[in-house]
Structure 1
Amino acid sequence: MVEFLASNSLARILVLATLFALIVGVAMLLMGAISRRAVVKSDLRTLVEARGPSGTAGLRKRQDDAWSRLVDRIERAGLTLEDTKSDRLRDKLVAAGYDSPAAPRVYTLIRLVLVIALPTAYVGLSLLGGAELSFFKLYLFGSIAALVGLYAPALWLRAKADRRTEAIINGFPDSLDLMLVCVEAGLGLEAALDRVGREMASSHPLISKLLTTVTLQLRAGASRETALRKMAAAARVEEISSFATLLIQSDKLGTSIAQTLRVYSAEMRERRRMRAEEKAHRIPVLISIPLVTCMLPVMIGVLMLPAAIRVVRQLLPAMGGE
């Protein structure tokens, strides 16, 4: 058979075409299965989002339970994941949106894994690439990889907290306007919070979660002051804290909640406009940095190069001749 294929070019072409067709068919089947799986995952994600905060909370609760079981198994094996500054770490995690009780231990576990995995990956890739590993290279690059694994989660956590704070601040004036409409339509504060929380589940999910949590606490029997202060503590945003304090004072003094919401909403929008103007005024300063770094050396070179060439060609030979 092998000799026949070696001597007959047509048979070789037919065999190669058959192999090519088989490979293409298998690849198409795999791509179809992967695409169907992606469609199913997208449909499931759409269903979860359509169910609102309850569906998203249920999915997140299952994920938190899985992480909790993982860290519990690791701690039962003898490795302690408690941080020495657990209170400050928990505050940072809550500010970033991770309010699970197991979040500090999971964070410590991730940092520990990265500190070990990144230097190990560097050594493995160097050995596979055939590079020679001296003690100095191993110490230097291994230390750099370990430092990256130690501090990268903290930087990522800070960036996530900043994005969460910005999202809450940008969406909170809209929720105040909706709340004002609900209150002026005759709804009470609890009903207004519930309605606004359900309406903003898609546009501003973070604010929707805060308002829904307040509503559930009020229905569970907590006082209005306690629920609002817990909302401010969970948000870790100055505007939310001021809003909670304002509602508490209005409730104690008996002033109109609608008037309070109208004044505070206007103030929040004015603050957002001032922040936008501040960012706009910073643009010329930020643009000057790449201009000075990239364009100024080129301009200096273009202006000075003809003079330098003339000095080299005429002035230096004349000085040498004297």
Structure 2
Amino acid sequence: MLELIANNFVLRLVLSVLLFALVIGLVVVVGNMLAHRRARLARLEEIETPTRVAGMTGGTIRSQQNDGAWARLAAAVEKAGLDLSDTRQERLSNWLRSAGYTSPAAPRIFTLIRLILIFLVPLTYLAVDYWTGEPPSFLRAYIVCAILAVLGLYLPNLFVQAKVDRRREEIRQGFPDCLELLIVCVESGLGLEAAMDRVGREMVRSHPRIAELLSLTTLQLRAGSSRDEAFRKLGQAADIEEVRSFTTLLIQSDKLGTSVTQTLRVYAEEMRERRRLRAEERAHRLPVLISIPLVVCMLPTMIGVLMLPAVIRLIRDVIPMMFSGG
């Protein structure tokens, strides 16, 4: 059979066409399966997003499973006798909460990761060094491992602080838009709680951080918390001066009985002015920031281009004349 196919051109052509059709069919089937899977996952994510903002502040199901795995690992380490608690536990919890890590086990997980990196980074360096070349000397290995251990100790701090700064900047940039929507909702006849709930649901995609804060505040109000307590927790959760000032204004307006609409309007104008001033400040910083690469990169080139003809003339004419005259 194989000899017949090998000697017959028509059979080889038919077999090639059949194999090509089979491969194309498999590619199409697999592609359709992957496309349907991606569509289902996207649909599930769209359904999950409002639920996560309303109450699941810990993230998606996969991130919750990862957090649970880390929490179980931290609990096992503590059960083995190693204490992962920090001397400034409350401060560390607030800092991690500002970065978006709201799990109660976040401080212990953070401490565990720091301990792991203290040993993991130097061991990785030693393994790579032993694998790629000659073993390093004891003094070199000691100094480099000590530096890498300190680096591994502070890398989680830098990562969390970057997330804190990014989260604060997102809230700061989107908060004026939130105030504008609150003004529209309050002026249309909604109460403050209903307006915050509506704005939180509307800003899920544009500003998810602010939507999460407003949704949590709404849930606290519905659970029976007083306005003072809920608004103070909102300021603490946001951890930026603009939101804390806003919650203080709401508390004072609620106690004194003044118009909430007027309070929101005045503060929204102030927030717009602050955002404009921040944009102007960044624009005025651009010439200073641009001057650094100009001086470092372009100035030596310009000096070289201007001085090169004179240097060539000096080497060709002036120096030979000086030596010939001597």
Counterpart check, 1:221 vs 2:224: yes
Matches within 5 A, 1:108-187: 108-187=111-190
Question: Alpha carbons of 1:33 and 1:65: their partners in 2 closer, same or farther (altered >3 Å)?
Answer: farther
TM-score (structure 2 length as normaliser): 0.83
Deviations 1:18-64, CA, capped at 9 Å, x for gaps: xxx9xx99x979x8699579725545433322545247537558344
> For residues 39-54 of structure 1, what are the structure 2 equivalents within 5 Å?
39=38, 41-49=41-49, 51=51, 53-54=53-54
TM normalised by structure 1 equals 0.84
Deviations 1:186-229 (A, max 9, x none): 11111111111122122211111111111111122211111101
Question: Could you say if the C-alpha distance between residues 136 and 310 of structure 1 is closer, same or farther in structure 2, counting changes exceeding 3 Å?
Answer: farther
Which of 291, 294, 299 in structure 1 is aligned with 2:297? 294
Q: 2:43 & 2:262 partners in 1: Cα distance?
A: 43
**Percent of paired sites with the same residue:** 54
Counterpart of 1:233 in structure 2 is 236
Deviations 1:228-249 (A, max 9, x none): 0111011101000000000111
Distance 1:153 1:77, change over 3 A: same
- 1:52 and 1:198 in contact (8 A); partners too: no
Shift in alpha-carbon separation, 1:262–1:160, aligned structure 2, 3 A = same
**Which letter does structure 1 place at the counterpart of 2:204?**
A
Spell out, residue by residue over 1:81-128, the C-alpha distance to the aligned partner (whole angstroms, 9 max, x if none).
122333332232122122222111111111111121111111112222
- The answer to whether structure 1 residue 188 and structure 2 residue 180 are counterparts is no
Pair 1:226–1:275, CA change in 2 (3 A):
same
Written as runs of structure 1 = structure 2, the 5 A alignment for 1:1-322 is 35=34, 39=38, 41-49=41-49, 51=51, 53-54=53-54, 56-57=56-57, 59-60=59-60, 62-63=64-65, 64-321=67-324, 322=326
1:222 is paired with a residue whose SS is: coil
Q: 1:312 offset after TM fit, Å?
A: 2.5
Distance 1:187 1:80 in 2: 50
Moved over 4 A (4+): 31-38, 40-43, 58-61
CA pair 36-109 structure 1, distance change in 2 beyond 3 A: farther
Query: Does the CA-based 8 Å contact 1:111-1:153 persist in structure 2?
Result: yes
- Name the CA shift for 1:115/1:232 in 2 (closer, same or farther; >3 Å): same
Q: Aligned letter for 1:153?
A: P
| RMSD (Å), alpha carbons | 3.0
May I ask how many residue pairs the two structures share in their alignment? 304
In structure 1, what is the equivalent of residue 3 of structure 2? none
Code of the residue aligned with 1:279 in structure 2: it is R
